[in-house]
Amino acid sequence: MDGRSLYFPQMNNQHNLVLLGFMGTGKSAAGRKLAALTCAPLLDMDAEVERRAGKSIARIFEEDGEAVFRRMEAELAAEWGAQKAGAIIVCGGGVVLNEENLRQLSRHGKLVCLTARPEVIIRRVAGHDERPLLQGGRLEQQVATLLEERKEAYERIPIQVDTSDLDMDSLSARLIRVWRHASS
Ligand code: S3P
């Protein structure tokens, strides 16, 4: 059976599903899986920032500074938030830090915050050296500090899904339910 038709035969003109959450909570993997299952367009903020800048996020931070990166993120939040495209929007972990981003993304989108226990986050991000905020220190400490600093910003999002113990099929099913509910 074609798994796609099971979920969303028609996603045009439906709410977007906006995946937020700390690094390593599974936003990108979930976004890819959902796009494959539903055929919905996948909009990945980090990838689009890199495409527009013509360089990696690590290089944007290094050469232009974090503020430039955050401005680019905010531009995308406004642009994508304005379109009711039935798209899956995968946000970078810091998108929640700017409330205006959330306001824009919720215009036509259902916001979901993915979470995970710190030890799970550390396991998932370890060995990936592309994240500028996790460079040059003890990973455990950096994750703990950032999580603490951002705790309230993540907790403000009403729908939270803890991905620590969920396999990808269960996570996708959960997210599709949330999304379908928003679009009905
Ligand atoms: C960031 C998270 C990263 C990326 C950038 C900054 C953050 O995205 O946007 O390195 O501030 O948490 P992921 O959450 O996809 O790793």
User: Nearest C-alpha to atom 12 of ligand 1 is from which residue?
Assistant: 93
How does pLDDT run across 101-155, given as a tens digit for each residue? Answer: 999 999 999 999 999 999 999 999 998 888 999 988 899 999 999 999 999 999 9
Query: DSSP states of the chain as a string?
Result: --HHHHH-S--TT--EEEEEESTTSSHHHHHHHHHHHH---EEEHHHHHHHHHTS-HHHHHHHT-HHHHHHHHHHHHHHHHT-----EEEPPTTGGGSHHHHHHHTSSEEEEEEE--HHHHHHHHTT----GGG-SS-HHHHHHHHHHHHHHHHHTSS-EEE-TT--HHHHHHHHHHHHHHHH-
pLDDT confidence of residue 11: 52
Q: Which of 46, 70, 142 to mutate to test the pocket of ligand 1 (most atoms within 8 A of CB)?
A: 46
Which residue owns the Cα nearest ligand 1 atom 10?
131
Q: What pLDDT, on the 0 to 100 scale, is given for residue 173? A: 96
Residue 129: predicted pLDDT: 81
- Among protein residues, the one with the nearest Cα to ligand 1's atom 3 is 92
Pick the atom of ligand 1 nearest to 46's CA: 9
- Crossing angle, helix 168-183 and helix 27-38, to 10 degrees? 70
Tens of pLDDT, residues 37-68: 999 999 999 999 999 999 999 999 999 999 99
Share of the chain above pLDDT 90, in %: 86
Over the chain, what is the mean pLDDT? Answer: 92
pLDDT for 140 equals 94
Instruction: Characterize 94-132 residue by residue with b for buried, 16 or more Cβ atoms within 10 angstroms of its Cβ, and e for exposed.
Output: bbbebeebbebbeebbbbbbbbbeeebbbebbeeeeebb
pLDDT of residue 175: 97
**pLDDT number for residue 82:** 96
Residue 54 backbone phi and psi in degrees, to 5: 70, 20
pLDDT score at 3: 41
Cα of 94 from ligand 1 centre, angstroms: 6
- CB neighbourhood size of 28 (10 A): 18
Domains of the chain are 16-182 (3.40.50.300)
pLDDT exceeds 70 at position 6: no
Instruction: State which ligand 1 atom lies nearest to the alpha carbon of 94.
Output: 11
What is the rounded distance in angstroms from the CA atom of residue 73 to the CA atom of residue 54?
15
CB atoms within 10 A of CB 141: 9
